[in-house]
C-alpha cells in the first residue's frame, strides 16, 4: 500500500519519532490538485494510506476524506493518526471504507488533556467503526516503558488486536540484533499483559527475528491469541514483511518508506505507475540491503538465505 503525506506538521513532539527529520526540514501542505494526482497514481492497488505529520491538521482533511469516500477506485483507506483531532471526521470515518490506525502515546508524552481526548475519540470511533475499523498502535522505545496508559485505551475500546512496533532509534550504531536483545524484556512484558486480556499483537514491519528469543520464549509467543495464521508466522519470525511501501509527499516526490527517507527520494513524475516506482525502490534499495547480513550468524541462517528473515529493519544496513 502507498501512503500520501498530507502535510509534515504535527501537534505532538514524540521523543522517539522516526519522522522528525521530515517534519523539521520541510513545511508544506499538500494541495488539492496534487492530492488528486497522487490518488490517480495509487489507484491501481485499490487502497491508500493517509499520513503526516498529523493528517487531521490539514485544513482540507474533510474534503480529502469525502473525495475518497466517493471514489470507486479505492476500497480501503487507512488514516494514520494520533487520534486527538479525529472527532472532527467522526461521521465520515464511520463509512466502511475507512480504517483508522491510532498511535497511542502515554499521557506523559502527549499531555494529560491530549491523552484524555485521544482515548475518548478512540472509544467512540471503535463503537462507530466496529472492531475491524480501528487499530490501536504502540511504539516501544524505552527499556523502562510503562504501558499502563496504552492498556487503558485498549480496555476502553475493547480491542482484540493491537499493532506493536519496536522503534528504530536515531542512533543505529548499536546494531539491530543487539538492540532487539536489549529491548526484548520490555516487549515480552507487554505481550504478557496483552495475553492476559486476550489481545493479539501484530507487526506491520520491523518484525523481530526469531533468533532473538529462546525456545521457551518462542513457545510463549506461539501461545499468543493471534488473529490468523499469517500474522502468527510474521510475529514468530517465520516470514518477512519488509517490502517497499512507498510514501508520497506534498512536493510530488516519493521514498521507499519513512525509514528510508534519507536513502533515496525521487520525483513521482519519473514513473508511469505505482508498481514501476515500487520496482525501482526494490532494485535500488532492497536488492542491495537484503544481501547485507546483519551479523555473521545471519550468513549461515536458513531463513536469511531463503529470504524468510532480513535480520530486522533494513534501515540498520
- What backbone phi and psi angles, to 5 degrees, belong to 266? -135, 155
pLDDT of res. 290: 83
Most confident of 15-29, 77-91, 195-209, 238-252: 77-91
Q: How confident is the model at residue 15 (pLDDT cuts 50, 70, 90)?
A: confident
In terms of residues, how long is the chain?
317
% of the chain exceeding 70 in pLDDT: 97
Q: Reply yes or no on whether the pLDDT at 239 is more than 80.
A: no
More confident residue, 300 or 39: 39
Least confident of 15-24, 46-55, 134-143: 15-24
Least confident of 43-52, 102-111, 127-136, 192-201: 127-136
Q: What angle do CA 151, 157, 163 make, to 5 degrees?
A: 60
Q: How confident is the model at residue 130 (pLDDT cuts 50, 70, 90)?
A: confident
Mean pLDDT, residues 248-257 taken together: 93
Mean pLDDT, residues 143-153 taken together: 97
In 3D space, the residue among 61, 112, 70 whose CA is nearest the CA of residue 90 turns out to be: 61
Q: Reply yes or no on whether the pLDDT at 22 is more than 60.
A: no
Domain ranges in the chain? 2-316
Q: Reply yes or no on whether the pLDDT at 18 is more than 80.
A: no
- DSSP code of 308? S
Q: Reply yes or no on whether the pLDDT at 169 is more than 70.
A: yes
Q: How many Å is the maximal CA-CA distance in the chain?
A: 55
Q: CATH code for 2-316?
A: 3.20.20.70
Mean pLDDT, residues 272-292 taken together: 91
pLDDT of res. 89: 94
Q: What angle do CA 37, 41, 46 make, to 5 degrees?
A: 120
Q: How confident is the model at residue 79 (pLDDT cuts 50, 70, 90)?
A: very high
Q: How many C-beta neighbours within 10 Å does residue 267 have?
A: 11
Mean pLDDT, residues 156-166 taken together: 94
Alpha helices, H only, the chain: 20-25, 32-42, 61-70, 90-93, 107-110, 112-129, 148-157, 176-196, 215-222, 229-235, 274-281, 287-289, 296-299, 302-305
Structure pTM?
A: 0.92
Q: Reply yes or no on whether the pLDDT at 256 is more than 60.
A: yes
Cβ–Cβ < 8 Å for 85, 53:
no
Most confident of 37-41, 209-213, 228-232, 236-240: 37-41
Q: Reply yes or no on whether the pLDDT at 241 is more than 80.
A: no
DSSP of 47-86, one letter per residue?
EEEEESS-GGGSTTHHHHHHHHHH-TT-SEEEEEE-STTG
Q: How confident is the model at residue 132 (pLDDT cuts 50, 70, 90)?
A: confident
pLDDT of res. 17: 76
pLDDT of res. 233: 86
Amino acid at each position: 500500500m502507498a501512503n500520501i503525506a498530507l502535510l509534515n506538521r504535527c501537534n505532538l513532539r514524540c521523543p522517539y519519532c522516526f519522522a522528525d527529520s521530515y517534519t523539521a526540514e520541510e513545511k508544506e501542505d499538500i494541495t488539492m490538485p496534487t492530492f488528486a494526482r497522487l490518488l490517480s497514481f495509487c489507484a491501481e492497488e485499490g487502497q491508500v494510506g493517509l499520513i503526516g505529520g498529523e493528517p487531521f491538521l490539514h485544513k482540507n482533511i474533510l474534503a480529502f476524506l469525502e473525495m475518497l469516500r466517493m471514489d470507486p477506485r479505492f476500497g480501503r483507506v487507512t488514516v494514520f493518526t494520533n487520534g486527538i483531532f479525529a472527532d472532527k471526521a467522526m461521521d465520515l470515518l464511520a463509512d466502511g471504507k475507512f480504517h483508522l490506525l491510532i498511535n497511542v502515546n502515554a499521557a506523559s508524552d502527549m499531555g494529560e488533556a491530549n491523552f484524555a481526548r485521544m482515548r475518548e475519540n478512540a472509544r467512540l470511533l471503535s463503537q462507530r467503526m466496529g472492531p475491524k475499523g480501528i487499530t490501536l498502535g504502540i511504539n516501544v522505545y524505552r527499556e523502562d516503558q510503562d504501558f499502563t496508559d496504552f492498556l487503558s485505551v485498549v480496555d476502553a475500546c475493547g480491542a482484540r488486536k493491537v499493532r506493536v512496533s519496536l522503534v528504530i532509534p536515531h542512533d543505529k550504531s548499536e546494531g539491530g540484533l543487539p538492540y532487539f536483545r536489549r529491548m526484548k524484556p520490555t516487549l515480552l512484558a507487554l505481550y504478557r499483559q496483552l495475553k492476559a486480556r486476550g489481545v493479539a499483537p501484530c507487526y506491520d514491519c520491523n518484525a523481530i527475528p526469531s533468533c532473538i528469543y529462546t525456545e521457551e520464549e518462542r513457545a510463549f509467543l506461539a501461545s499468543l491469541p493471534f488473529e490468523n495464521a499469517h500474522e502468527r508466522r510474521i510475529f514468530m519470525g517465520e516470514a518477512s514483511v519488509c517490502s517497499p511501501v512507498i510514501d508520497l509527499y506534498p512536493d510530488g516526490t516519493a521514498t521507499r518508506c519513512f525509514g528510508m527517507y534519507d536513502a533515496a527520494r525521487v520525483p513521482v513524475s519519473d514513473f508511469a505507475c505505482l508498481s514501476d516506482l515500487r520496482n525501482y525502490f526494490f532494485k535500488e534499495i532492497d536488492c542491495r540491503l537484503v544481501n547485507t547480513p546483519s551479523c555473521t550468524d545471519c550468513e549461515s541462517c536458513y531463513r536469511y538465505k531463503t529470504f524468510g528473515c532480513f535480520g530486522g529493519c533494513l534501515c540498520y544496513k
